[in-house]
Amino acid sequence: MLTLFHSPGSCSNGILYLLDEAGIAFDTQVVNVRTGEQNTPEYRAQNPKGKVPALKLKDGTVLTEFQSIAYWIGQSLAPQLWPGDLMVQTRTLAALDFMVGSVHMRGFTFVKVPQKFVSDTDAQDALRSHGRTQVENGLNVLSEMLADQEYLMGPISIADGALFYILDWAAADGFELPKNLASCLTRLRARAGFANSKGLYSS
């Protein structure tokens, strides 16, 4: 059985979304990053990076890093989430990297946890504001990428796992979503995998 190391409400929601979408059986082990469970020796023994998501395979291998876990899911569990055309595959990986590496790490990280970087409260406000601008720019790029398609690459794909958590965070943090992204989030929430999941998305 696969085991997803997951903190509800965090970016591991995106991998949970893809596993639910794949419709396969898996276990979920909660690692609450708000209370520091990612730093326990037990979890570090599984993932020395101390981050979620991580996915433990049947043979004990632990996969880390959102993009590579999403890639593995598309290659081995859910071919319907992995495009066939080389250029679309390449754009899918670029979209994943943009969402996780830029919109999340260089945007939401500063919106959500500026205190991790600076202790001065004015500096935290400046960092939060910088993060909000990065997220807004990111949402505009994603809106152009989506255009009038149903999902980010056209048909549903592994890129939509990252899009799901990015849009979910944006809505929760009071960002105004461009119309096509708001409709896409509604469509993603209406899919059977998410709608019928065990409910480990909310913190």
Ligand X SMILES: N[C@@H](CCC(=O)N[C@@H](CS)C(=O)NCC(=O)O)C(=O)O
Using CB under 6 A, list all residues that contact ligand X.
10-11, 33, 38, 50-53, 65-66, 100
Least separation, in Å, of the C-beta of 125 and ligand X? 21
**Cβ at position 109, least distance to ligand X in Å:** 7
Beta strand ranges found along 23-176 (DSSP E): 26-30, 54-56, 62-64
CB of 37 or CB of 150, closer to ligand X: 37
From the CB of 147, what's the least distance to ligand X, in Å?
Answer: 26
> Least distance from C-beta 33 to ligand X, angstroms?
4
Q: Which amino acid is at 107?
A: G
Closer to ligand X at the Cβ: 53 or 138? 53
Cα angle vertex 147, ends 146, 150, to 5°?
A: 60
Instruction: State both tokens at 202.
Output: 């909310």
122 and 114 in contact (C-beta within 8 Å)? no
Q: Output 97 or 144, the one with its CB closest to ligand X.
A: 97
Please, which residue, 12 or 157, has the CB nearer to ligand X? Answer: 12
Q: Which is nearer to ligand X, 15 or 78 (CB)?
A: 15
Do you find a cis peptide bond into 53, omega within 30 degrees of 0? yes
How big, in percent rounded to 5, are the helix, strand and coil portions of the chain? 60, 10, 30
Distance CA 142, CA 167 (A): 10
Residue 7 Cβ vs ligand X, minimum distance, rounded to whole Å: 6
* Closest to 55 (Cα-Cα) out of 20, 75, 32, 26: 26
CB of 105 to ligand X, least distance (A): 7
In the bound state with ligand X, the residue whose beta carbon lies nearer, of 47 and 157, is 47
CA dist 180 and 147 (Å) reads: 7
